[in-house]
A and B are shown apart, each in its own frame.
Chain A
Amino acid sequence: MIRIIGVGSPFGADQLGWLAIDHLVACSLPNCELMKLDRPGIGLLDYFQNVDQVILIDALLSQEATGRVVLIQADELVDCESLTSSHGFGVAETVAMAAQLGALPARLHLIGILVGDDLSLIPSMDTSALEKQVHSLL
């Protein structure tokens, strides 16, 4: 079973992970469980359990606020320098913690949707690229 998780919040461009899931629900992906999580923090670790493959989708800060879809490797994302606290436990820190604990799923992929510094602006997501990217990972 493959778990596809949109990470986000109701605010501005941070919704993009959720909007991606809304789009993918309509695609009837086989053997996939789709879910939206609201800033799960370290709780994301629980969603790595009892599953072979996880695809995380999240808004990704970038110089280009284009809505372009990119595939990120887990080790590109890990940035322990930014680790601050329980409140600051984001996707990167949770992936790092899962790696330390041997709790990563057999296959973990991260799909980023590029957004700019102004998070109040929601760029138009490249949904066909999103679909293509997800299908390539299944």
Chain B
Amino acid sequence: MPERRDVHIRVPVLTRVEGEGALELDLADGQIERVNLRIFEPPRLFEKFVEGYERNQVIDMVARICGICPVAYQMSAVQAFERLAGFTPDRWVTEMRRVMYCGEWLQSHALHIHLLAAPDFLGFGSAIEMAADYPDEVRRGLALQTLGNDLIALFGGRSVHPVGLRVGGFYRAPDLAAVDAILSRLRLALPEAKALVSWVASLDFPDDEQSFTSVALSDPDIYAIAEGRLISGQGLDIDICYFESHFKEFQSPHSTALHAELDGRPYLTGPLARLNLNFHQLPAAVRSVMDSCGIVFPSYNMFHSLVARAIELYLVLYEAIRILEDYRVPKQSYQEVASVEGNAFGCTEAPRGILWHRYDVDSKGIIRYARIVPPTSQNQGRIEEDIVQSLSKMGLDNDDDALRLRAEQVIRNYDPCISCATHFLKLKVNR
């Protein structure tokens, strides 16, 4: 019979990251007594920063919240202001926003797969170590990331904290030559992304089926990225303006990031949740790649998030090509949209999951209150639940290093902003 140990795993403060996190894991008498994913990133003062500013200023300000997914923050904000005004963007604007968002998914997914997650499944401590044995795969990943960044810059002027979006459309439209140039590169990258899906699907994932609720946006016509209704695998189907009626945020003593629950339970948002709920809307060519990759979706093995991410990477390349093939320079890249007083709600699919915004706008178009619910805080409860289930299934009699590594692997699998911190956890074990 395995030894029934009391183990206390403590991870110290982690710095040099966008989010700051730590892990506390206590085993008592051979059972998990406590798992705390501690996030001590500062309170989201951005919600206060934006008070007193007008709509287009806020769209540029919220881009600063994240260096990896600034487009997501901008898209949720612009959607909120336009919905409040009763403004529906024209087809050109809607499609180009989807392309710009595709760029963000492309760079973010490529980055997570190659620099953060893949080394876990191949037994390397870092992407640099992995590059010695898998140089072609790393080169491919970095090239895809660059392409995603360039796609963002096409519309936003730059890939980090872009400045192209505004209420009513874009400040400017790219010219044909620039679009043609990137279109050629997107076409060349498509078979590379297909190979990436096969490679990721062939990785040796732990057998770790779990029960969880998936939450994602859903659009009747298309795989939702930049708009949609909020749905769940348990039958939720609401307009995003009712988010606060169903999703409750609360403070836990161990985390400055708010936890979130749907009807009193943790839930999953992000690539696996999206694919589980919306895979039937993949274009036929993308569906074919998914069906032939060897992993069956919907999947409840959380580690298949990585495969879902790769399939979505292929999807966004496909979508960007499809839309840009019919590109034309519009007469106007935006329309003036009068400001309306009221409560503005926006929600889009950031690479890591749903990103919900609320802004209370006064009669002069000034933001008086803001609330921003990012995907990383929403996934916190699910991550803790996952660690308990995954470690229990793996076997708590494994040594401390193995338990720590699996816990880190679970955390990184969600691609939280704090995954960078957890990548180099130093471990202190008290027995």
A interface, CB within 8 angstroms of B: 38-39, 42-43, 45-46, 80, 83-89, 93, 96-97, 100-103
Give the contacting residue for A102; candidates B127, B135, B142; CB below 8 A.
B135
Give the contacting residue for B115; candidates A38, A46, A85; CB below 8 A.
A85
Distance in angstroms from B318 CB to nearest chain A CB is: 24
> In the assembled complex, which residues on chain A have CB atoms less than 8 Å from the CB atom of B112?
86
Judge whether A88 and B420 touch: CB under 8 Å: yes
Judge whether B419 and A85 touch: CB under 8 Å: yes
Give the contacting residue for B17; candidates A42, A45, A80, A87; CB below 8 A.
A87
> In the assembled complex, which residues on chain A have CB atoms less than 8 Å from the CB atom of B135?
100-102
Judge whether A101 and B424 touch: CB under 8 Å: no
- Report how far A17 CA is from B422 CA in the complex, Å: 30
Judge whether A83 and B424 touch: CB under 8 Å: yes
- Report how far A43 CA is from B110 CA in the complex, Å: 13
> In the assembled complex, which residues on chain B have CB atoms less than 8 Å from the CB atom of A101?
131, 135, 138-139
Judge whether A84 and B128 touch: CB under 8 Å: no
Residue B335 is within 8 A (CB to CB) of chain A in the complex? no
Taking CB as reference atom, which chain B residue is nearest A38? B160
Judge whether A97 and B423 touch: CB under 8 Å: no
- Report how far A101 CA is from B17 CA in the complex, Å: 25
Query: Mask for B1-34, Cβ within 8 A of A = 1, else 0?
Result: 0000000000000001110000000000000000
Residue B348 is within 8 A (CB to CB) of chain A in the complex? no
> In the assembled complex, which residues on chain B have CB atoms less than 8 Å from the CB atom of A84?
16-17, 420-421, 423-424
Judge whether B132 and A87 touch: CB under 8 Å: no
Taking CB as reference atom, which chain A residue is nearest B417? A87
- Report how far A42 CA is from B114 CA in the complex, Å: 12
Judge whether A88 and B160 touch: CB under 8 Å: no
> In the assembled complex, which residues on chain B have CB atoms less than 8 Å from the CB atom of A88?
16-17, 420
Residue B111 is within 8 A (CB to CB) of chain A in the complex? yes
> In the assembled complex, which residues on chain B have CB atoms less than 8 Å from the CB atom of A42?
111, 115, 142, 145
> In the assembled complex, which residues on chain B have CB atoms less than 8 Å from the CB atom of A46?
146
The B112-130 residues at the A interface (CB cut-off 8 A) are 112, 115-116, 126-129
The B131-149 residues at the A interface (CB cut-off 8 A) are 131-132, 135, 138-139, 142, 145-146, 149
- Report how far A31 CA is from B16 CA in the complex, Å: 37
On whether A93 and B128 interact (CB within 8 A), knowing A86-B420, A88-B420, the answer reads yes
Give the contacting residue for B116; candidates A45, A86, A93, A103; CB below 8 A.
A86
Residue among A83, A87, A101 with most chain B CB within 10 A: A87
> In the assembled complex, which residues on chain B have CB atoms less than 8 Å from the CB atom of A93?
128
> In the assembled complex, which residues on chain B have CB atoms less than 8 Å from the CB atom of A80?
126, 128-129
Residue B233 is within 8 A (CB to CB) of chain A in the complex? no
Give the contacting residue for A85; candidates B129, B131, B421; CB below 8 A.
B421
Residue B71 is within 8 A (CB to CB) of chain A in the complex? no
Residue B68 is within 8 A (CB to CB) of chain A in the complex? yes
Residue B67 is within 8 A (CB to CB) of chain A in the complex? yes
> In the assembled complex, which residues on chain B have CB atoms less than 8 Å from the CB atom of A103?
139
On whether A89 and B132 interact (CB within 8 A), knowing A46-B146, A83-B126, A84-B17, the answer reads no
- Report how far A103 CA is from B132 CA in the complex, Å: 12
Judge whether A97 and B421 touch: CB under 8 Å: no
- Report how far A61 CA is from B178 CA in the complex, Å: 40
Judge whether A86 and B142 touch: CB under 8 Å: no
- Report how far A102 CA is from B136 CA in the complex, Å: 11
Residue among B127, B135, B419 with most chain A CB within 10 A: B127
Judge whether B142 and A87 touch: CB under 8 Å: no
> In the assembled complex, which residues on chain A have CB atoms less than 8 Å from the CB atom of B129?
80
> In the assembled complex, which residues on chain B have CB atoms less than 8 Å from the CB atom of A83?
126-128, 423-424
Distance in angstroms from B152 CB to nearest chain A CB is: 12
